[in-house]
Amino acid sequence: MSRGSADLFRYWATALIVTQAASCTTVSTGAGPNVQAEWEVEEPLLESRPATLKAVPVAAPIATKGLWVVRTTLSHPDSIRAMVRRAAGAGFNTLLVQVRGRGDAYYLGGIDPPADAIQARTDFDPLELTIQEAHARGIQVHAWMNVHLVSSAVVLSQDRRHLVHERPDLLAVPEVLARDLFSVDPGDPAYLTRLREHARENRDRIEGLYTNPAAPEVKERVHAVAMDLVDRFAIDGIHLDYLRYPSSDFDYSRRSLERFRLWVQQRVPPGRWAEVALEADADPLAFVQGFPGLWAEFRRAQITDMVERIYTGVKQRRPEVVVSVAVFPDARESFTYRYQDWEGWLRAGFVDVVAPMAYNPDDERFDEAISRAAAVAGPDRIWAGVGTHLTSYAGTVSKLGIAGQVGVRGFVLFSYDWAVAFGEGMDGVPFLQRVGRTFRDSPR
């Protein structure tokens, strides 16, 4: 047995509630107050485990064995039922379902317009059906929200209520277009066209169109979406993704530049501010170029403000709901180039758990990323993000073993959809079930 497999067997076996062999359904905390109790347990997970393992009582920490479920699976009732059935059969206990994929809603009655894929359907609510099916099997459901990525640059939403159509002025602008677009009316079709062209030309670095994190309207909308989900659905968690700037090249929209000009006025000597203000009459980038350190601090503050507001709002409504964020695994890179200070969020208590997206086929680099995150945050506040699409079945199992050795709280595989469509099966056993066996059939 490899090091990864052996460590995985030792670790996850102590964290699991006994699996019912006949149904292959894993018992977990499910919805409700038990989730909060789980977070309050202080038992360290890094200690060595005994050779003879026994099932632990319900009160002990339960390892998160999760799947990121991309929104396409939520477009039909049959695919939702199949997804939950497969997850349960493989022993997974947590589903992170993408209910806000591109500024739209994969549930009914949302603040964002319904996704094009479910526009014509009113016979089912994708999120509600997922919750019903999952909770019946003891599986938690976390609402996965893409925060600032709101559209593909290739295909826009057909719904005219979508933000890209209603409020193009709230979209993030790259520095290279800042001067050209500064005086262009965002209502002019040319404005959106330029942003789309830039994103398409740089698709290797930019996933699509983002919103401006500094715009109050954006913050209000995202906060309202999260609160609506918590208020109306029996979800077990809110999972935030793309809670960051796409790169240090953003956001240079007029709204963002003007807000920075006011923000920095309170932080620099009046004479220096007045001097740069004169330069700004000729160059709209004068302030960000004149105060580069404060410009980075300003952008970082916008992202931190968003996560703090959501965390506070969730806990005021339902303290048991877990707030998690998918983050870049390198904390320094995340802080410097994406303005995502997840180390600071954990220290300040603005998030319950982070999921470093350590998508790397190399075990050593994966180990380094997860170990570093655990050292910063404590292992109980880390879910190891595993990119199954970049490795094999053996590579996936090895990485789960590494996560177990490091002692993190659990893991999340990206993604269910890839695993079902492309995962490496063998002898008629699908990929998910093969992975599930590594913790279900481990020696006890």
- The tens digit of pLDDT for each residue in 322-349 reads 999 999 998 999 999 999 999 999 999 9
For residues 116 and 260, what is the distance between their CA atoms, to the nearest angstrom?
Answer: 36
Q: Lowest mean pLDDT of 3-7, 190-194, 294-298, 315-319, name the range.
A: 3-7
Which of residues 373 and 253 earns the better pLDDT score?
253
pTM, entire model:
0.85
**Close Cβ partners of 20 (under 8 Å, ≥ 6 residues apart):** 27
Residue 253 pLDDT greater than 60, yes or no: yes
- What integer pLDDT is reported at residue 39 of this predicted model? 23
Q: What is the pLDDT of residues 33-57, one digit of tens each?
A: 222 222 222 222 222 222 322 222 2
Decide: residue 340, CB within 10 A, 0-12 exposed, 13-18 middle, 19+ buried.
buried
Domains contained in the chain, CATH given: 3-440 (3.20.20.80)
Instruction: Output phi, psi for 389, to 5 deg.
Output: -70, -15
Q: Which helix (H) or strand (E) holds 410?
A: strand 410-414
- What integer pLDDT is reported at residue 183 of this predicted model? 95
Rg of the chain on CA atoms, in Å: 23
Are the C-beta atoms of residues 3 and 10 closer than 8 Å to each other?
no
Residue 223 pLDDT greater than 70, yes or no: yes
Residue 8 pLDDT greater than 60, yes or no: no
- What integer pLDDT is reported at residue 25 of this predicted model? 31
Average model confidence (pLDDT) across the chain: 86
- What integer pLDDT is reported at residue 440 of this predicted model? 63
Per-residue pLDDT, averaged over 378-404, amounts to 93
